[in-house]
Amino acid sequence: MTDHRHPGASRGPLPTAAQVVAEARAWIGTPWQHQAALKGVGCDCTGLVRGVVGAFRELPPELLRMSYARTPDGVTLLRLCREHLHEVPASEVQPGDVLAFRYTAHPQHLGIAADYVHGGLSIIHALDQQGVARGKVVEHRLDATWRARIVGAFRIAETAPVAPSNRCPVLDTGAGAHCRPSEVLA
């Protein structure tokens, strides 16, 4: 019998990509809160990933009691992803995968890839808009700027395809976001 679990899995088979994306979307609108991981109450980027992964498997104590600076240590962030998830090439990212991003030289941010309504991928992540507006979990197109920031991709799901969403997952700025043709991935 094949074990369908990845490193760090401690119960049952992995969820499907559709299940991971659905769970991540259930967090959309959760306010940004440093080091938090409670759906609907507050989370940061690592809290979102811990919450989504934790919905499907028991998390090890080291991930439940994480403490980190507002800007996470990129070396530790990648080490933990590699220890508890299955790394995949960035060119093979699919909905349900965890993505590690850099803003400077080191990884500092996590998100979850999803299916974009017009084709291609979107990203669900806890975005702190620092001074512009109170941050929250959002979903928007994974455009060229965000793709260039990817420094790691990690799989937590089986590889079943995800059916396209029937809604527009653009960045919700609170001003009635909607899809425009210019937001379609080429």
> How many other C-beta atoms lie within 10 A of the C-beta of residue 157?
23
DSSP 108-151: EEEEEEEE-TTSSEEEEEEE--TTSS--EEEEEE--HHHHHHEE
DSSP 22-49: HHHHTTTTPBB-TT-EETTTEE-HHHHH
Let me know: does 112 contact 123? Beta carbons within 8 Å: yes
- The pTM of the full predicted model, rounded to 2 decimals, is 0.76
The domain locations on the chain are 17-167
Q: What are phi and psi of 144, to 5 degrees?
A: -60, -35
The segment with the largest mean pLDDT, out of 66-80, 86-100, 125-139, is 86-100
Name the class of domain 17-167: alpha beta
Q: In the structure, what pLDDT confidence band is assigned to residue 131 with cuts at 50, 70 and 90?
A: low
Of 40 and 7, which is predicted with more confidence?
Answer: 40
What is the token pair recorded at 137?
A: 């979990």
Closest CA to 147 of 104, 93, 95: 93
DSSP 142-182: --HHHHHHEEEEEE-S--PPPPPPSS------SS-----GG
pLDDT at residue 73, as a whole number: 67
Question: Each residue of 98-128: b (16+ CB within 10 Å) or e?
Answer: bbbbbeeeebbbbbbbbbbbbeebbbbbbbb
pLDDT at residue 166, as a whole number: 43
